[in-house]
């Protein structure tokens, strides 16, 4: 029996929310993880098959993950524009150039959509690294992840940050453009699911500043487009992974993942295959590139 049939729809959704929060909880990943730092315990993706949830360990197949992501995309696209705009108006964020949001300490890593990856590769290829939160592994010890991220410097700040300023501001990436309006779904104390704005509310910048209607509408449009593109990338990644595993007789084993992650945290070099434009690009990495 499909395990997801054993739990109600809302619970399915919550499991999914834990997963989808992945990338955007930094400016790419600060969305649903309380902390999404690359080398921390919390960096273990919530959407892995075998994710412990509510005291139980649920194993989601790739198809089940894809279904959940497609549902999320549908809900995102259906979300009323006016409500979206109202949330943005209420948040009223304005940047005070503190630069904190561009640091690993504050926001984990900057996840790159495929267009962003292509663009940064055209002018600073060394700035691209495999996103740190590996999504899965196979029985041969290779990790898989849904995309790339920006490298950070030794002090944990984005490689493009100088003296608190973005040196490529006009060319900054999708997540940087919609920050901090990336939205996620979250259940309140009564179990009602709603959109939240979560990117360091009241921890940086200024809030409750007036934003005119046209600007609110622009932010809503770009944020929705960002979220849709992110979900699309996650869905395509999982479809490709499902097909690759079937074609090559690969298996995901949670215990293998845990053991590999333990070795990786200790400094061992691992192979990670990064999904990009329908292919899996192989890399060898150690945790040092995330520190």
Which residues contact ligand SF4 (rule: CB under 6 A)? Answer: 27, 102, 110, 158, 160-161, 166, 168, 172-173, 176
Which CB atom, from 12 or from 117, has the smaller least distance to ligand SF4? 117
What gap in Å lies between CA 178 and CA 181, rounded to an integer?
6
Cα 169–Cα 171–Cα 173 angle in degrees, nearest 5:
95
Distances (CA, A) of 62 to 9, 19, 28, 65, 134: 18, 13, 22, 5, 15
First to last CA, the chain: 43
Distances (CA, A) of 34 to 41, 68, 143, 157, 246: 11, 21, 23, 19, 34
Identify the bridge partners of residue 129 per DSSP, sorted by sequence position: 149
Which CB atom, from 72 or from 116, has the smaller least distance to ligand SF4? 116
Look up residue 103 and give its DSSP letter: B
Which CB atom, from 127 or from 235, has the smaller least distance to ligand SF4? 127
Cα 7–Cα 10–Cα 12 angle in degrees, nearest 5:
55
Which CB atom, from 49 or from 99, has the smaller least distance to ligand SF4? 99
193 near 10, Cβ under 8 Å?
Answer: yes
Which CB atom, from 85 or from 175, has the smaller least distance to ligand SF4? 175
Q: Minimum Å distance from CB 150 to ligand SF4?
A: 6
133 near 90, Cβ under 8 Å?
Answer: no
Q: Minimum Å distance from CB 162 to ligand SF4?
A: 8
Q: Minimum Å distance from CB 160 to ligand SF4?
A: 4
Q: Minimum Å distance from CB 109 to ligand SF4?
A: 9
Q: Minimum Å distance from CB 172 to ligand SF4?
A: 4
Which CB atom, from 164 or from 278, has the smaller least distance to ligand SF4? 164
Q: How many CB atoms lie within 10 A of CB 1?
A: 5
Q: Minimum Å distance from CB 192 to ligand SF4?
A: 33
């Amino acid at each position: 029996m499909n395990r997801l049939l054993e739990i109600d729809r809302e619970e399915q959704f919550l499991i999914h929310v834990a997963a989808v929060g992945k990338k955007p909880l930094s400016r790419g990943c600060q969305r649903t993880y309380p902390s999404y730092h690359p080398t921390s315990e919390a960096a273990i993706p919530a959407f892995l098959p075998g994710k412990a949830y509510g005291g139980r360990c649920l194993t989601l197949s790739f198809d089940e993950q894809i279904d959940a992501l497609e549902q999320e995309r549908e809900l995102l696209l259906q979300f009323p524009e006016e409500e979206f705009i109202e949330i943005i108006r209420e948040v009223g964020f304005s940047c005070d150039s503190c630069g904190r949001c561009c640091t690993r300490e504050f926001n984990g890593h900057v996840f790159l959509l495929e267009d962003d990856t292509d663009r940064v590769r055209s002018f600073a290829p060394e700035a691209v690294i495999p996103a740190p939160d590996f999504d899965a592994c196979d029985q041969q010890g290779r990790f898989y992840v849904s995309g790339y991220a920006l490298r950070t410097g030794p002090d944990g700040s984005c490689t493009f940050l100088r003296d608190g300023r973005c040196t490529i501001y006009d060319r900054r990436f999708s997540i940087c453009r919609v920050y901090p309006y990336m939205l996620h779904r979250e259940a309140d104390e009564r179990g009602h699911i709603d959109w939240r704005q979560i990117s360091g509310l009241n921890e940086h910048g200024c809030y409750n500043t007036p934003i005119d209607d046209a600007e609110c509408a622009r932010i809503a449009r770009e944020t929705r487009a960002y979220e849709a593109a992110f979900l699309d990338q996650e869905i395509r990644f999982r479809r490709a992974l499902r097909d690759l595993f079937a074609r090559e007789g690969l298996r995901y084993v949670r215990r293998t993942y845990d053991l590999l992650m333990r070795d990786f945290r200790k400094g061992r070099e691992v192979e990670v295959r990064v999904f990009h434009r329908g292919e899996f690009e192989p890399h060898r990495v150690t945790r040092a590139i995330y520190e």
